[in-house]
Amino acid sequence: METFILSHGSLDWNPPLAALWTAIAARSGRADPFSCTPAWQLSFHDAFAPRRRLFIHVDEENVLTFAELTLLSGHILLAPVEAHWISASPLLGPNADDLLVRMLPALADFYHGALPCLLLSGLEEGNDLFPRLSRRTADIFHVLPQPATLQRSASLMGGMDGYLSRRSGNFRAKMKKARRKAAENGVTFERVVPATVQEADAVYARMVAVEERSWKGREHCGMTEPPSLEFYRVMMRRLSLYRGGRVMFAAQEGKDIGFIFGGMAGRFYRGQQFSYDADYKTLSIGDLLQMEQLAWLCEENAVRYDMGMSDHPAMAYKTHWAELEQKLLAWLLIPKARL
């Protein structure tokens, strides 16, 4: 069992730890396992808040991952490392609750007898981890439920035929028509799995070039803008270390006109970004990239396509692609007294 307390840096000097963390996240059963991996968590840290102190506690089956924040009140809060969307759980593994309880005295010592507040997130309804933890710490913490978030996913069971059987007839007809029109206009698709940092950088440069010509790039609200630009760049690099990235390009006459990008956590795929050149809007490039990516994932025997948050009006399109919805719960734990 090891504890890492980092004032800066992101564990890139410890590839075995990153690999163990990724494997535990993939088999965690969380509603969004990819967002629990270091590819997501540490990339957020690097791009958005690199000055925070990180607390990483690991054994062979469990990982606890927190970042230190100072509240306006002056109190210390240990929150998930990715603290913006907080779609991931900082408690991973079958005994993560027990590991946290056993860590509390050490945390109190570290903070001179005063336990920090804890923010626990990313746990799906029906998961018994938090009820177990709550019972064991009832004398230590006040518990304040936080607003829930909704996540959309699509089952890939039964392969592409199974996926399409869960879509409407109108959806299937629309996709068939779009595919035929794209073929008539010479649109082709390329699959890419970066396997080195150099390949990751080259692929990312192609993606950014497309994004700059998309409506998001033209309105300066996409991944061409910092800190998102750095977030996805370092994520792509980390994914290349275990060939976890899945990038699909759409092209016409050798010119990239669209891309879709996501990452694997075991057999779970998490979509990240897709975009297309605004001059090719009539060719339904975005929809076709989704379909091509789904077909690729089914060939690889992936079991689920996670699309992330769905409780914002801009995310309504996800209901057409993903039939599963899960509510993710979060709680703020406030110490009752000094240990």
DSSP 30: -
Half-sphere exposure at residue 21, Cβ-oriented, CA atoms within 13 angstroms: 29
161 and 176 in a single domain? The answer is yes
Extract the tokens encoding 171: 């959806």
pLDDT in tens, 125-183: 888 888 899 999 999 999 999 999 999 999 999 999 999 999 999 999 999 999 999 99
117 backbone φψ class: left, alpha, beta (φ>0; ψ -120 to 50): beta
Distance of CA 17 to the CA centre of its chain: 19
Domain CATH number, residue 244: 3.40.630.30
Provide the pLDDT for residue 5. Answer: 67
**DSSP SS3 for 116:** coil
Q: Rounded distance, CA 275 to CA 289, Å?
A: 9
Quote the pTM value. 0.93
Asked if residue 146 and residue 6 are part of one domain, the reply reads yes
Predicted pLDDT at 10: 59
* Residue 80 to residue 115: CA distance in whole angstroms: 16
Both 80 and 128 in one domain: the answer is: yes
**What is the spatial distance between Cα 183 and Cα 175, in angstroms, rounded to a whole number?**
12
Backbone angles phi, psi at 242, to 5 degrees: -130, 25
Same domain membership, residue 162 and residue 134: no
User: Both 89 and 130 in a single domain?
Assistant: yes
Residuewise pLDDT in 10s, the chain (339 residues): 566 666 655 566 678 888 999 999 999 988 899 999 999 999 999 999 998 999 988 888 999 999 999 988 888 999 999 988 888 999 999 999 999 999 999 999 999 999 999 999 998 888 888 889 999 999 999 999 999 999 999 999 999 999 999 999 999 999 999 999 999 999 999 999 999 999 999 999 999 999 999 999 999 998 999 999 999 999 999 999 999 999 999 999 999 999 999 999 999 999 999 999 999 999 999 999 999 999 999 999 999 999 998 877 768 888 889 999 999 999 999 999 765
Give dist(CA 223, CA 204) in Å, integer: 11
